[in-house]
Amino acid sequence: MNHKHSAQATDAFELATAAMNKAYAPYSGFKVGAVIEAANGKLYSGCNVENAAYPQGCCAEASAISAMIMDGESSISAITVIGAGDSLITPCGGCRQRIREFAADDTPIHLCSPAGVEKTLTLGDLLPMSFGPEHIESEK
């Protein structure tokens, strides 16, 4: 791993942890933080935000994607996810599809514990044979 990538991974982990700590999860009590690394090299963080109409709310990954889109980016290079508790978490099914809109099958998804990145999977591992924008474009 080159130094730049290592520094970027460390920054993403720290931002994801900070985002998790800011999550608003009074109903589930389960806080999640996520960081999107976009093709432009910028990092976009997000946290889950619940509301009284639970479980309707916003996932951390969706929040981070929204921040990326608001900055004019539309291509995900990597994702870092951390959740409260002892188990590693992955993006939920809905977020896997949201990620798929802006990422390729080989996009790495880094799963973290409080100690750092514990496991890396690809989007293709988490959402095999997925349906994406190119399927709709080929129908036009």
Residues taking part in catalysis: 61
Report residue 86 as tokens: 């002892």
Closest CA to 84 of 21, 26, 135: 21
Closest CA to 76 of 42, 111, 125, 121: 42
Q: How many separate helices (H) and strands (E) can be counted in the chain? A: 5, 7
Whether the CB-CB separation of 79 and 88 falls below 8 Å is answered with no
Q: How far is CA 24 from CA 49, 50, 103, in A?
A: 5, 6, 27
Burial class from Cβ neighbours inside 10 Å (0-12, 13-18, 19+) for residue 72 reads exposed
